[in-house]
Amino acid sequence: MTLKNNDILFLLASILLAIGSAIAVTYPDPKVGIYSVVGFWGLIAVLAIVIKPSFGAIVLIIAVFTNISSHLTDAGYPGIIKPLVAVAFGAVVLRNYYTVQFPTDRKRTLLIEVFLVAYFLSMAVSYLVAKDKNKALDAVVDLGKDMVIIYTILFSLRTWASWKQSVWVLIITTAALCLFGLYHIVTTDYSQDFFGLDTVQVEGVQENSDSTSARISGPVHDPNFWAQIIVVAMSLLLFRFIHEKQISWKISSVFMMILLGIVLLNTYSRGGYLSLVIVVILTFFVYERNFISPAMAVLGILVFFIILTFLPANFRSRFESLLLISSSDGSGVYQDGSLQGRSSVMLAGLTMFARNPLLGVGAGNFQANYQEYNQILGLEFEYGERDPHSLYTQILSETGILGTLSFSGLIYFLLTGLSKTIKSIKNVPHFKSYIPWVMSFQVSIIGYLVSATFLHNAYIRYFWILFALAITSMQLIDEELSSIASMHKEKALS
- pTM of the predicted model over 0.85: yes
The DSSP bridge partners found for residue 216 are 200
Per-residue burial over 63-85, b if 16 or more Cβ lie within 10 Å, else e, is bbbbbbbbbbeeeeeeebbeebb
Residue 104: predicted pLDDT: 66
**Residue ranges of the alpha helices (H) in 100-158?**
107-126, 133-156
Asked whether the predicted pLDDT for residue 25 surpasses 70, the reply is no
pLDDT digits (tens, 9 = 90+) for 397-422: 999 999 999 999 999 999 999 999 99
pLDDT digits (tens, 9 = 90+) for 356-382: 999 999 999 999 998 888 888 776 655
In the chain, the percentage of residues whose pLDDT exceeds 70 is: 77
Residue 428 pLDDT class (50, 70, 90 cuts): confident
The DSSP bridge partners found for residue 214 are 202
Radius of gyration of the chain (CA): 24
Residues written for the chain: 494
Encoded amino acid at 357, one letter: P
Separation CA 350–CA 391 (nearest Å): 12
Segment 425-432 mean pLDDT: 88
Residue 126 pLDDT class (50, 70, 90 cuts): very high
- Please tell me what DSSP assigns to residue 246: S
Segment 464-478 mean pLDDT: 95
Distance spanning both ends of the chain, measured CA to CA: 34
**Phi, psi (degrees; rounded to nearest 5) at 177:** -65, -35
Residue of 455, 411, 60 lying closest to 231 (CA atoms): 455
pLDDT digits (tens, 9 = 90+) for 287-326: 888 877 777 777 777 777 677 676 666 766 666 666 655 5
Q: Which of 125-139, 283-297, 469-483 ranks highest by mean pLDDT?
A: 125-139
Segment 257-279 mean pLDDT: 93
Segment 4-21 mean pLDDT: 50
pLDDT digits (tens, 9 = 90+) for 140-189: 999 999 999 999 999 889 899 999 999 999 999 999 999 999 999 999 99
